[in-house]
Structure 1
Amino acid sequence: MNSALLNYYEAIERASADMLSAARNGDWDQVVKLEGACAVLISQLKHAASAQNLGTEESQLKSRIMQRILINDAEIRQLAEPWLEDLDGLLAGKPKSIH
């Protein structure tokens, strides 16, 4: 098994789970920081993946990890919608509405 590539996927999954936790707590600064960490990991993964391939078992594990990352991402986006609307309102000079 090619654990080096899977380690990247697992690290990205951990970061996405941490982002989700921060989003649930309303800690958007932490979400942004973790998003930056994810971007670095994804860049490193792309570089490593260009030189290596995953076997069948590893590809199946990768798919399960990616599904969990996508689920986390969807919930983060859902949690971020009100925050982004408030931010848009502030930038446009509109008073903040109460939810």
Structure 2
Amino acid sequence: MSTKLLNYYEAIEKASAEMLAAARTGNWDEVVKLEGACAVLIAQLKNAAQSSHLMQNEAKEKSRIMQRILLNDAEIRHLAEPWLEDLDHMMGGKPAMLH
């Protein structure tokens, strides 16, 4: 049963890599679509984790997967910053002033 948990982490990693690829090409609609898929996977993972636990070797793999997901997320956020600023301007917002 714990292998099933690891499969969820792997699926989330795959989706985050696909999100990053879409963000690199500026396909923000695809990023949003994949973000929704990730949310579903995360909900399923939380549900499955209530009745199952990872073995020690699987926990190490989970940690490696989580690191890759976090790196993908950081790059996606970096790529999204200009897009979010453009969206803010289109919506009539003012740029934030940093002091």
Scaled by the length of structure 1, what TM-score is found? Answer: 0.91
Which residue is equivalent to 1:26? 26
Query: Stretches of 4+ moved more than 6 A in 1?
Result: none
1:17 aligns with 2:17: yes
Report deviation, 1:3: 1.4
**Residues 93/71 of structure 1: CA separation in 2 closer, same or farther (3 Å cut):** closer
- For 2:86 and 2:59, locate their aligned partners in 1 and report how far apart those are by CA, in whole Å: 40
Consecutive unaligned residues of structure 1, counting only runs of 5 or more, are 95-99
Structure 2 gap segments, 5+ residues each:
95-99
The RMSD of aligned alpha carbons is 1.3
**Pairs within 5 Å for 1:62-77:** 62-77=62-77
User: How far off is 1:2 after superposition?
Assistant: 2.4
How far does residue 55 in structure 1 lie from its aligned partner after superposition?
1.2
Residue aligned with 1:54, SS: coil
Give the number of aligned pairs: 94
CA–CA separation in structure 1 for the residues paired with 2:25 and 2:41: 24
Match for 1:47: what amino acid?
N
Instruction: Please state whether the residue corresponding to 1:52 is helix, strand or coil.
Output: coil
Instruction: Spell out the pairing of 1:42-57 with structure 2 (5 A cutoff).
Output: 42-57=42-57
